Amino acid sequence: MASNNYHGGCLCGKVRFKITGDIRNIIYCHCSECRKAQGSAFATNGVVETGSFLYLAGENELTAYRYTDVQTRFFCKHCGSPILSVNTSKPGVVRIRLGTIDSDITERPSAHIFAASKANWDVICDELPQYDSYEPGR
């Protein structure tokens, strides 16, 4: 079975990356923190194995925000594009912001999480499962 090969980067183009594997656990997160971090109604995130994620340019153009004791979010320090986050309690994976990927993505989202705290002006218009917090089993 062939591996996926995705390319992406930030808005200004200084940060470029490649993903050479599958994107797992794609979700739409409607929590207030993701809304603030994205400046939108929700964040669309997926999990990628660390060994499948490679910076092509601009790794030194990132800035880090230590969100919690275990989670750090990385952004382009020029244009502010959120690229990914790492969590020390989940070694071996990065959580990528799908909006930064330029390639067509074959995997699909599986759920809406924190739907109970979604923006009051947002309407979820698909048939994916909706959970009040994390999806079961996470």
Rounded Cα distance between 63 and 128, Å, is 34
The residues near 103 (Cβ < 8 Å, ≥ 6 apart) are 5, 6, 7, 8
DSSP state of 130: B
- pLDDT bin (cut points 50, 70, 90) of residue 2 is low
- pLDDT bin (cut points 50, 70, 90) of residue 138 is confident
To which H or E segment does residue 35 belong?
helix 32-38
- Each residue of 88-107: pLDDT tens digit? 999 999 999 999 999 999 99
- Each residue of 13-30: pLDDT tens digit? 999 999 999 999 999 999
What radius of gyration, in Å, describes the C-alpha atoms of the chain?
Answer: 15
Per-residue model confidence (pLDDT) at position 83 = 97
Q: Is 137 left (phi over 0), alpha (psi -120 to 50) or beta?
A: left
Mean pLDDT confidence for 114-135: 94
Q: What is the mean pLDDT of the chain?
A: 94
Q: Specify burial of residue 2 (Cβ count, 10 A radius: 0-12, 13-18, 19+).
A: exposed
Residues facing 112 on adjacent strands: 28, 130
Topology (CATH) of 6-117 = 2.170.150
pTM given for the model:
0.90
Boundaries of every domain in the chain? 6-117
